[in-house]
Structure 1
Amino acid sequence: MHQFLKDIKSTPIFWMGIFIPVVLVLEWTHGASHTTMFVLSLLAIIPLAGFLSHSTEGIAAKTGDTVGGLLNATLGNLTELVIFIAALRQGLTELVKASIAGAVVTNSLFMLGVSFLIGGLKFRVQNFNKLNAFIQSSLLFIVCIALMVPTVVAKVSKEENMPAMGQISLGISILLMAIYLLSLLFSLKTHADFFKSEETGHEGEEHVWPLNISLIVLAISATCIAIVSEIFVEGVQDAASKIGLSQGFIGFIIIPIVGAAAEMMAAFSAAKKNKLDISVGIAMGSSAQIALFVTPLMVILSYFIAPAPIDLSFTGGLIFMLLFGTLTVALTSNHGKSTWYLGVLLIAVYAIFGVTLFFMD
């Protein structure tokens, strides 16, 4: 309990937890507009993601490397997953697709780029496990292929052949799920040594929350995220029209940054401590998980919870952003060394995507 209270006091992201009860009270009393609720729910999701991340670490520390790694992989993107499910239930398929693409690109370009920049400003050159980076970027290339094929087929096929798109997407989704499960077996069991840190030094043992505290916080956080995500999605369309932002920009930029706020703080902190392997693992591992697990899961769940099933036919712009984002990450991480300027390059590519979507309707 002492460590829990100490982390609450010393971690700025947790101070934003004041927005959680504010959102819940306003929702129950209907005391604010959709746009106001949209903004407040965004602010509430950030500390909830932090609570979820820290509680997962506390549980993982008590369950061993294999189970702990699996738990982190499963719950690491729970915030985005819940938001996607809430949007699916309301039939906002284009928002879901933009958010999926944005989550992959945001984690791999923005999170990794800022980590390189922060670490590079303190250390002239930083080393990281290039084999891990190569494997993760290879997984992202597979996803680019998996999404490009149905997208191209949808563009060139005649309209009467379009019903087959659902079957193609479902089949590819099952394949991606299988690849994801095999990647867990590869990274956690058969070749776990490939993912060891390149850094020989370490700064002592990381403090985690006790198991009982972690379990309680995990349950409360997951419940609150489910409620707040519903509120957030309900206000998306109204906020998009009043604030002047397109659903593409909200889905591609805002939702991924908010959903991954806690992971970003952890990645940036690790880079500042010259533990760049942790930063690379968080950024690229989270991208691979969204691409290989969350994306096909959304396709499968859409058959049960959405007004109509979604497919893997993304717009051409999203596909190219995924492809060129993956290419940029692969090219900048293939030497296992980073500097602050590599971080600038990654952020610049991400900014190009953001500016484009900001001015699009």
Structure 2
Amino acid sequence: MNLLLKEIRHNPILWLLAIVPVVFAAQKLKPEAHTLLFILSVLAIVPLAVLLSHATESVAAKTGDTVGGLLNATLGNLTELIIALAALRAGQYALVKASIAGAIVTNTLFMLGASFLLGGLKHHVQEYNRGSARLQACLLFLATVALLVPSAVSGADSTAGSVFTAKLSVCLSVLLIAAYGLGLLFSLKTHRELFGGAEHAEAGEVPWPMGLALTTLAGVTVLVALVSEVFVESVQQAALSFGMSQAFVGFVIVALVGGAAEMASAFSGARKDRLDLSVGIALGSAAQIALFVAPVLVLLSYIIGPAPMSLQFWPGVVIMMIIATMTVSLVTNSGRSAWFVGVLLLLVYLIFAITLYLLPPPVV
């Protein structure tokens, strides 16, 4: 506990932890102040993300970057899952699907691109495990195919009704979850020797004890989940105040805020020349969203949603996911990166973000 308090005292960003109770107080006192709650919740997630990053790096120092990246991706996606569940209960399926697609594209393009850029500005050339990156890219391609099929079939065949799409989505969800489980078995058990990355911890870096790191991970994850509830309740009205479209909110804002904890760990790892950790977080998180979170949300919609949710996405969103998957497959094929590679990934992401920001609202 002394190490945790010392870290808070010496890191000015962590002083923003004082905003966390302010968020809950503001929610009780002024629940209608959506813009204020939106700003406060975003500010509260930032220090929680930094704290989660430090704890995850301490765990990764003892378990290795592969397991550390998986752990960070899992805990980080828990935030996005909670945000999606809140929207799912409210029947906001458009927001759920936009946040799913946005998380996949944001992790593969923005998080990975910024990691390459930040790491490349400090280190001339960085290397990472090419086999691990290619496996995650293959899993992502499988997921995009599964997301493409319902949209393609319903668009090509007018007789394919909602009942068919719902049944197909359930079957595909089960297959995707099975594929994700088998992928974990392959990379962490039967062929784990192929996915180990070199450790590059900086001199003088003292990781936290495992007990403190795991306790911090659990506590911070709960706080992030609670703050995310406030965020998702206020983001829609706040978006109108800032003139943002619903597509931009789900695809960009929700994805960036929901992935803040993972991004903090990925960027920190890249700066410390631990690119295996950064790549594992970025691609592992995207694969987990596509192969596990999205199918689980489809299945849970039958329990907590007002109606079943399908895997049928808008054609434009599916195209963006396919482009993101193909782009990351190309740039990670060599197992080496430099700052300009990160710039290229960020430019592709900015093309998508600008398009969605300028997208006119639907005609009612």
Q: 1:58 to 1:120 in 2, by over 3 A?
A: closer
The corresponding residue for 2:5 is 5
Mapped partners of 1:122, 1:219: distance in 2: 32
The corresponding residue for 2:121 is 121
**Alignment deviations for residues 308-356 of structure 1 (CA, whole Å, 9 cap, x no partner):** 1211000111101100011111111111111111111100000000000
The corresponding residue for 1:131 is 131
The corresponding residue for 1:273 is 272
**Alignment deviations for residues 13-36 of structure 1 (CA, whole Å, 9 cap, x no partner):** 433222211110011122651222
Mapped partners of 2:220, 2:60: distance in 1: 16
Mapped partners of 1:42, 1:326: distance in 2: 28
The corresponding residue for 2:99 is 99
Aligned partners of 1:66 and 1:189 also within 8 Å = no
Aligned partners of 1:3 and 1:208 also within 8 Å = no
Aligned partners of 2:72 and 2:281 also within 8 Å = no
Q: Which amino acid aligns with 2:95?
A: L
Mapped partners of 2:90, 2:206: distance in 1: 40
Mapped partners of 2:71, 2:199: distance in 1: 26
Mapped partners of 1:269, 1:65: distance in 2: 13
Mapped partners of 1:165, 1:45: distance in 2: 37
Aligned partners of 1:86 and 1:229 also within 8 Å = no
Cα RMSD of the aligned pairs, angstroms, is: 2.6
SS in 2 for 1:163: helix
Mapped partners of 1:275, 1:58: distance in 2: 13
Matches within 5 A, 1:297-308: 297-308=296-307
The corresponding residue for 1:35 is 35
**Alignment deviations for residues 257-293 of structure 1 (CA, whole Å, 9 cap, x no partner):** 1222222222222222222222111111111111111
The corresponding residue for 2:45 is 45
What is the TM-score of this pair, normalised by structure 1?
A: 0.91
Q: 1:203 to 1:313 in 2, by over 3 A?
A: same
Following TM superposition, by how much is the alpha carbon of 1:236 offset from its aligned partner in structure 2, in angstroms?
A: 2.5
Aligned partners of 1:151 and 1:314 also within 8 Å = yes
Instruction: Answer yes or no: is 1:244 the counterpart of 2:247.
Output: no
| Range 118-127 or range 308-317, more displaced | 118-127
Mapped partners of 2:195, 2:66: distance in 1: 13
Mapped partners of 1:118, 1:275: distance in 2: 12
Q: 1:64 to 1:333 in 2, by over 3 A?
A: closer
Q: 1:91 to 1:149 in 2, by over 3 A?
A: same
Mapped partners of 2:259, 2:46: distance in 1: 8
The corresponding residue for 1:147 is 147
Mapped partners of 2:88, 2:46: distance in 1: 21
| Range 303-312 or range 255-264, more displaced | 255-264
**Alignment deviations for residues 20-77 of structure 1 (CA, whole Å, 9 cap, x no partner):** 1111001112265122212222222333344445556667778899987775554241
Q: 1:46 to 1:298 in 2, by over 3 A?
A: farther
Q: 1:238 to 1:115 in 2, by over 3 A?
A: same
Mapped partners of 2:283, 2:29: distance in 1: 41
Aligned partners of 1:87 and 1:233 also within 8 Å = yes
Aligned partners of 2:56 and 2:265 also within 8 Å = no
The corresponding residue for 1:230 is 229
What is the TM-score of this pair, normalised by structure 2?
A: 0.90
Q: Which amino acid aligns with 2:87?
A: A
| Range 234-243 or range 351-360, more displaced | 234-243
Q: Which amino acid aligns with 1:173?
A: S
Following TM superposition, by how much is the alpha carbon of 1:211 offset from its aligned partner in structure 2, in angstroms?
A: 5.0
